[in-house]
Amino acid sequence: MYRQLSGNEEETSSGASRHPVSTRINYRNFLPPDDSNSVIRLQARSAYHNGESSSVRKKRPRLARLLLSLIDDAGLNKLDSLANPRIRTNYRECLDAIRQVTLQQEYIRGRSLSEIIHFRPGMSERSQERLMETLENSERHWPARRKHMFFQIFMAQHICRDAVEIHWANGNIQVIRPVRGISINGEAQGGIRPPYWVILAFCRSADGRIICSEGYAHALYQLTCPVPVCQ
């Protein structure tokens, strides 16, 4: 789905690449190499910040392909839901559909994606630590030479390249700031087309803490029709 554009046909109205290259993720081979001895640093400024053309086709980041593959496998990427107003769902139903995919798919033989893909962005630091310790248990299989990490998937209205705000029903606002920031599909500025699908990656830092290392956000049509949109 595309919005009406003017000017450069290869760029969105916000100045970002309109057609990034995207391929499905391999659930058995998507975890990044283990770089536990290196320090996580901020990524270099992107092309549109450096004055280069933003229309160059670039491969979507691994985190983006993971999210979009899960959405597709969950059957949430169907255009017929846009044409038929009676086909509507809610936030919890959407996440439950993806959760079912994580229960059925494995990231290594005998271990389902549900062990590392969660839907609780409000997870406490203590719970994050317990989860990571479970994943790091040397008696359990883990993909060789791959980083121990887990992910959180949810929807959000308030996104920028530095942080995501989660507005809870009780009025509390939780702010998560990934170390490497948040990549937002088709947006050079960020946060201009809510609501968003969001996926955050968590890992252990060099000093032993559990940190949010990076995030990816992709605009969806609306909360009751969660089809990811191309801007």
Q: What is the pLDDT of residues 102-147, one digit of tens each?
A: 999 999 999 999 999 999 999 999 999 999 999 999 888 899 999 9
Strand ranges (E), the chain? 106-108, 111-112, 117-118, 149-156, 158-159, 164-167, 173-176, 182-184, 196-204, 210-222, 225-228
Rounded distance, CA 195 to CA 220, Å? 6
Q: What is the pLDDT of residue 90?
A: 78
Tell me the residue type at 130: R
The model carries a pTM of 0.81
Residues of the chain under the 50 pLDDT cut: 1-21, 43-57
Rounded distance, CA 226 to CA 167, Å? 19
Do 170 and 122 contact (CB within 8 A), yes or no?
no
Q: What is the pLDDT of residue 113?
A: 98
Which of 67, 146, 65, 62 lies closest to 108 in space, CA to CA? 146
Q: How far, in Å, are 80, 81, 88 from residue 84 at the CA level?
A: 6, 5, 9
The residues, ordered by sequence, that sit 6+ positions from 164 with a Cβ below 8 Å of its Cβ are 156, 158, 175, 176, 182, 198, 200, 215, 217
Tokens of 158: 């308030």
Do 174 and 168 contact (CB within 8 A), yes or no?
yes
Tell me the residue type at 67: L
Q: What is the pLDDT of residue 154?
A: 96
